[in-house]
Structure 1
């Protein structure tokens, strides 16, 4: 706490205790990146498309009615955050959720903030 803040604050001395409950900056950055990666309607649609299992990228293109480059961009972001993974079979890539519980957790989260 700065000297200026000490003059304007109570004498409770809880600062160290409060800071112990905050994850370190690296962990906060990771959490923030995950939220950013799913904070897009198209990426959320991709997650819901993959809810019932693996899909070929061509099926994702068709379902979203978006260009190949747009869908690829969104898939890349989700892959980077390890939310989905892909496997190549011939000339196609098949995507699936790394952990299907993510959709349940998102539903729980949205109920908490209602």
Structure 2
């Protein structure tokens, strides 16, 4: 299959157009891509990554997370809310305390694999 060269002014041939239509038909629509980007953005913060790594060993009370993070409660709560909204965390309330765990226990493995292969 002949490929287009940048700057030559050549147009894709019929086979290339068919191939491109097939490829583009398999790409999620823009709304889905925007949601996916927002989910990925939730991971783009060292504090949130640290929280995920803390939780890979199991459920922790918010007070334990605050202590381990050595950050003020409002800061930790802010990051926990972002991770919750993105679907990375489960939580349950017990009295006045909230306990957090990973919604998918393999999330940290997936992150490690993603970063390892960059």
1:10 aligns with 12
Distance between the aligned counterparts of 1:88 and 1:26, measured in 2? 33
Q: Does 1:71 align with 2:76?
A: yes
TM-score with structure 2 setting the length: 0.83
Mind listing any 5+ residue stretches in structure 2 that lack a counterpart? 1-8
In the alignment of these two chains, the number of paired residues is: 107
Distance between the aligned counterparts of 2:10 and 2:94, measured in 1? 64
Within the candidate set 38, 52, 60, 1:55 is matched to 60
Distance between the aligned counterparts of 1:62 and 1:82, measured in 2? 23
Q: Give a deviation string over 1:70-97, Cα, whole Å, max 9, x none.
A: 1000000000011002111011000000
Distance between the aligned counterparts of 1:65 and 1:9, measured in 2? 58
Q: Shift of the alpha carbon at 1:8? A: 5.5
Distance between the aligned counterparts of 1:101 and 1:30, measured in 2? 21
2:95 aligns with 90
Q: Shift of the alpha carbon at 1:107? A: 1.1
Mind listing any 5+ residue stretches in structure 1 that lack a counterpart? 1-6
Within the candidate set 24, 27, 36, 1:31 is matched to 36
